[in-house]
């Protein structure tokens, strides 16, 4: 049992775990809950994954998976995508939100892939981050899920959970990513990123847990009296 107890007079005081204990417990618990980590976004190859991840910005994976079949039926490769107008792409992806920006980015990055990379998605973080509409998190997801290279994509939900669990005091997702990479072995990063997402969606949601409700929060911090206030991403 990882939780420590101390006795002061006749009172038993429940102590919070140490950071090392939290890291060990969280890794083991998430692995037991989610031994398999399927990619939440439906895709066929690195290109369709890249487009799906781009569309997922400020949109749910479920909504993206509802939209991409119609898009990929018409254009599931860069050479086919550039044959569509930006307006046509926008009409298809509108339910995902931010369609004016996303449609332009999809069309432009498809042309760049043809011009610079023979129509292939580069397995290179710096090259991906240079593509329109592709930030560090999107590039990290593609590197991990398309190419199996170790990254630790951190979104606002992972940032919030990592703070609730005492894994970081990061002021933003960049600092939280740094701290999570230091905490866990590199061979765990790709699976752990998805395991945290799965757990957060199921048990530690923004409204469902304030740092005192779900199993992991209660186990890591049994003595926590007040909601955990998290730094904004």
Residues 6+ positions from 111 with CB-CB distance below 8 Å: 78, 82
Which residues have a catalytic role annotated? Answer: 137, 155
Whole-number Å distance between alpha carbons of 157 and 78: 31
Task: Report the DSSP beta bridge partners of residue 13.
Answer: 6
List, in order, residues 6 or more apart from 185 with CB less than 8 Å away.
none
Give whole-number Cα distances, 70 to 19, 73, 92, 172, in Å: 46, 5, 7, 35
Strand 11-15 versus strand 4-8 pairing type: antiparallel
């Amino acid at each position: 049992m990882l939780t420590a107890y101390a006795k002061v007079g006749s009172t038993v005081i429940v102590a919070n775990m140490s950071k090392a204990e939290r890291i060990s417990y969280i890794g083991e618990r998430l692995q037991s809950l989610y031994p398999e980590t399927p990619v939440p976004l439906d895709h066929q190859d690195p290109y369709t994954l890249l487009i799906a991840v781009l569309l997922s910005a400020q949109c749910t994976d479920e909504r993206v998976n509802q939209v991409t079949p119609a898009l990929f039926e018409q254009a599931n490769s860069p050479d086919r995508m550039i044959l569509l107008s930006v307006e046509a792409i926008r009409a298809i992806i509108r339910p995902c939100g931010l369609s004016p920006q996303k449609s332009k980015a999809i069309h432009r990055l498809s042309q760049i892939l043809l011009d610079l990379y023979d129509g292939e998605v580069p397995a290179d973080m710096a090259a991906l981050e240079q593509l329109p509409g592709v930030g560090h998190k999107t590039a990290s997801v593609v590197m991990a899920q398309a190419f199996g290279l170790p990254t630790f994509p951190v979104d606002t939900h992972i940032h919030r959970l990592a703070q609730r669990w005492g894994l970081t005091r990061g002021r933003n997702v960049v600092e939280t990513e740094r701290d999570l990479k230091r905490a866990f072995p590199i061979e765990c990063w790709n699976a752990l990123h998805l395991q945290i997402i799965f757990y957060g969606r199921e048990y530690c949601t923004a409204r469902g847990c304030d740092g005192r409700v779900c199993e992991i929060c209660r186990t890591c911090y049994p003595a926590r009296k007040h909601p955990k206030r998290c730094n904004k991403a």
